């Protein structure tokens, strides 16, 4: 007979290397506290429903609590022969309190057990991530508040387009993260549902009270269908999809920080604590953390694609394939938590080189739209104005100057509508200030956005 907890039907044991291939304990030990929490709720429910005699249930409860204490101190040693976290803990319980420990699994299966553990885990991690997004938003907000009137070239196609407020640029990421935060928060209601009591797939003959165990675990409700309860991993997919979107935002932000800290831009300088040197080139200061976050976005996408692929061909209900859900989820948590923490530190310590940024807004043609708008506001059709200014830009390019360098006579030659106030219009500070349409980069608008944003971050 096999030595396994499920060994009754077997005449021989699997070889060690086969056991190893099937085991998940090397990674699902991450769920140790969730598994114990789930078991405690289950046995409490069994007791209250008089499915187990009080005395037996109490023994199990104290055994589980002692395992909990040991787990918290990191004193439990898991065995590969015991396959996974569920069987490891069950056999430890039996060792601790004797055969009565074997009554814990009454009316339960590892299939609803593992699903319960994962729901509890995702619930905790979702809260952690929401908090960390909030921290990063605060860091962005602090930098933004200091840079409302700092000018930076705004780009499209990575070509200078129009000058903007640096705070406005930073705040774009604040709002992306706000949506990320909403997505994680909204997903919580689908995570916080109890599969416990679904059994292996069909429910159980014992008169269990699923609502009670759900309540004991702080779930908001129970799965309506036992097959769905044990087969569903949508909540994990949703979590990884939300993480993928958030990482995509961090990756784009990273890319900008990498560009900005390059010799070519020199718009920001990252703190030494978030940079590294080169082993050969003494002058180097590399934005490694930003690069790593950009890189790690790939593994988060991979985890999402991995689980979607694992699930796509699975018949109902549980299949061992589903054991493959966990590593991707754990890795996604570790990666997003790490990236968010690093990012907040990187942003709050980043030195903004306002003088370089502002200089950049002067030595270019990003004020050309101002000129076209100037003519349009004096009645010239915008299309025509665009053409007039386009010709002036071409003239400047051919003569090695900028628009501000042209004399009023030269402007008037292009159009009689130009007056002396054209030079104010060409000033990037004025250009930014005037873009006061809702959500625009005008300083008043940026200030308003910052005030709105401040109400959205919990201090």
How far does CA 340 lie from the centroid of its chain?
A: 7
Which residue in 39, 91, 111, 361 binds ligand ARG (CB under 6 A)?
111
37: tokens are 């929490």
Q: Which tokens belong to 444?
A: 């008043």
- Binding footprint of ligand ARG, residue count (CB under 6 A): 11
Select the span of 106-114, 138-146, 150-158, 395-403 touching ligand ARG (CB under 6 A): 106-114
Copy the structure tokens of residue 339. Answer: 């990236």
Give yes or no for residue 88 binding ligand ARG (CB under 6 A).
no
Residue 438 CB neighbours (<10 A): 8
Q: Does 28 bind ligand ARG (CB under 6 A)?
A: yes
Nearer to ligand ARG, 9 or 455 (CB): 9
What phi and psi values does residue 83 have, to the nearest 5 degrees? 65, -70
Q: How far is the CB of 439 from ligand ARG (least distance, A)?
A: 47
Whole-number Å distance between alpha carbons of 218 and 38: 11
Residue matched to tokens 């129970």: 222
Under rule CB under 6 A, residue 24 binds ligand ARG: yes
Shortest Å distance, C-beta 19 to ligand ARG: 13
**Cβ at position 330, least distance to ligand ARG in Å:** 12
CA–CA gap between residue 247 and residue 184 (Å, rounded): 13
- Measured from the CB atom, the residue of 89 and 176 that comes closer to ligand ARG is 89
Q: DSSP letters along 299-331, please?
A: HHHHHHHHHHHHHTTPPSS--GGGGGHHHHHHH
Residue closer to ligand ARG by CB (options 86, 435) is 86
CB neighbourhood size of 27 (10 A): 16
Retrieve residue 274's tokens: 């978030």
Q: Which two tokens stand for residue 440?
A: 């625009």
Of 201 and 404, CB closest to ligand ARG:
201
**Of residues 105, 110, 294, 435, which one binds ligand ARG by CB under 6 A?**
110
Residues forming a β-bridge with 154: 162
Q: Contacting ligand ARG (CB under 6 A), which of 35, 56, 81, 84?
A: 84
231 tagged catalytic = no
Report if residue 322 touches ligand ARG, rule: CB under 6 A: yes
Closest contact distance (angstroms) between CB of 85 and ligand ARG is 7
Q: Which stretch binds ligand ARG (CB under 6 A): 128-136, 235-243, 316-324, 354-362?
A: 316-324
Taking the complex as a whole, how short is the minimal distance between the CB of residue 74 and ligand ARG, in angstroms?
A: 21
CB 442 within 8 A of CB 432: yes
Q: Which residues is 194 bridged to in the sheet?
A: 222
User: Between residues 67 and 85, which has the closer beta carbon with respect to ligand ARG?
Assistant: 85
The one catalytic residue in 26, 278, 377, 458 is 278
Q: Does 235 bind ligand ARG (CB under 6 A)?
A: no
* Closer to ligand ARG by Cβ: residue 119 or 168: 119
Q: Which of 114, 329, 350, 450 binds ligand ARG (CB under 6 A)?
A: 114
| Residue 236 to residue 197: CA distance in whole angstroms | 20
Q: Tell me how far apart the alpha carbons of residues 111 and 227 are, in angstroms, rounded to a whole number.
A: 10
Based on the shown chain and the rule CB under 6 A, indicate whether residue 117 belongs to the binding site for ligand ARG: no
Instruction: Check residue 318 for interaction with ligand ARG (CB under 6 A).
Output: yes
Q: Is 198 in the site for ligand ARG (CB under 6 A)?
A: no
DSSP code of 350? P
Contact segment (CB under 6 A) with ligand ARG among 41-49, 108-116, 284-292, 378-386 equals 108-116
> For ligand ARG, which is the closer residue by CB, 28 or 238?
28
CA distance 129 to 336: 8
Q: Which stretch binds ligand ARG (CB under 6 A): 45-53, 110-118, 166-174, 261-269?
A: 110-118
Q: Count Cα atoms within 13 angstroms, Cβ side, for 243.
A: 35
Residue 360 phi/psi, 5-degree rounding, is -60, -30
Name the segment binding ligand ARG (CB under 6 A); options: 52-60, 298-306, 318-326, 369-377.
318-326
> How many Cβ atoms sit within 10 Å of the Cβ of residue 282?
7
192 binds ligand ARG (CB under 6 A): no
Check 157, 279, 407, 437 and give the catalytic one.
157
Indicate whether 90 belongs to the interface with ligand ARG (CB under 6 A).
Answer: no
The answer to whether 112 contacts ligand ARG (rule: CB under 6 A) is: no
List Cβ neighbours of 366 (8 Å cut-off, separation of 6 or more).
153, 154, 160, 161, 162, 163, 428
Q: Which of 44, 45, 57 is nearest to 209 (CA)?
A: 45
Residue 223 binds ligand ARG (CB under 6 A)? no
State the Cα angle at 142 between 141 and 147, rounded to 5°.
90
The distance of closest approach from Cβ of residue 20 to ligand ARG in the complex, given in angstroms and rounded to an integer, is: 13
Does 323 bind ligand ARG (CB under 6 A)? Our answer is: yes
Query: Going by C-beta distance under 8 Å and a sequence separation of 6 or more, which residues neighbour residue 354?
Result: 147, 150, 166
Q: Which residue in this structure is represented by tokens 């699997």?
A: 14
243 tagged catalytic: no
Binding residues for ligand ARG, per CB under 6 A? 24, 28, 84, 86, 110-111, 114, 318, 320, 322-323
Q: Annotated active-site positions, please?
A: 157, 278
């Amino acid at each position: 007979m096999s030595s396994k907890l499920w060994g009754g039907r077997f005449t021989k044991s699997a070889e060690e290397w086969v056991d190893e291939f099937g085991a998940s304990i090397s990674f699902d030990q991450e769920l140790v506290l969730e598994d114990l929490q789930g078991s405690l709720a289950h046995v409490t429910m069994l007791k209250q429903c008089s499915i187990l005699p009080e005395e037996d249930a109490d023994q199990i409860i104290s055994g589980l609590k002692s395992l909990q204490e040991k787990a918290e101190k990191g004193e439990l040693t898991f065995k590969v022969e015991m396959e996974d976290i569920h069987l490891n803990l069950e056999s430890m319980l039996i060792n601790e309190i004797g055969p009565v420990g074997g009554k814990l699994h009454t009316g339960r299966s590892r299939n609803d057990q593992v699903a319960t553990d994962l729901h509890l885990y995702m619930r905790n991690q979702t809260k952690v991530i929401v908090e960390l997004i909030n921290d990063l938003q605060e860091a962005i907000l602090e930098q933004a508040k200091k840079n409302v009137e700092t000018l930076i070239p705004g780009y499209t196609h990575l070509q200078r387009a129009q000058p903007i407020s640096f705070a406005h640029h930073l705040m774009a990421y604040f709002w992306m993260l706000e949506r990320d935060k909403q997505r994680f928060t909204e997903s919580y209601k689908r995570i916080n549902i109890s599969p416990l009591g679904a059994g292996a797939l069909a429910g159980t003959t014992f008169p269990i009270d699923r609502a009670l165990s759900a309540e004991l675990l702080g779930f908001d409700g129970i799965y309506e269908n036992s097959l769905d309860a044990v087969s569903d991993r949508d909540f994990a997919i949703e979590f990884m999809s939300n993480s993928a979107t958030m990482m995509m935002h961090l990756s784009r932000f990273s890319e900008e920080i990498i560009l900005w800290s390059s010799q070519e831009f020199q718009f920001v300088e990252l703190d030494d604590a978030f940079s590294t040197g080169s082993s050969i080139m003494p002058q180097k200061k590399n934005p490694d953390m930003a690069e790593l976050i950009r890189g790690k976005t790939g593994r988060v996408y991979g985890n999402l694609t991995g689980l979607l692929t694992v699930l796509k061909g699975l018949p109902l209900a549980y299949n061992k394939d589903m054991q493959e859900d966990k590593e991707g989820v754990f890795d996604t948590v570790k990666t997003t938590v790490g990236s968010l923490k690093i990012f907040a530190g990187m942003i709050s310590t980043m030195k903004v080189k306002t003088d370089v940024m502002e200089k950049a807004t002067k030595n270019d043609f990003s004020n050309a739209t101002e000129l076209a708008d100037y003519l349009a506001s004096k009645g010239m059709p915008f299309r025509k104005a665009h053409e007039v200014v386009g010709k002036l830009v071409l003239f400047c390019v051919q003569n090695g100057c900028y628009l501000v360098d042209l004399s009023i006579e030269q402007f008037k030659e292009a159009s009689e509508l130009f007056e002396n106030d054209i030079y104010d219009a060409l000033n990037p500070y004025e250009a930014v200030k005037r873009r006061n349409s809702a959500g625009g980069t005008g300083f008043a608008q940026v200030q308003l956005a910052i005030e709105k944003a401040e109400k959205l971050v919990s201090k």
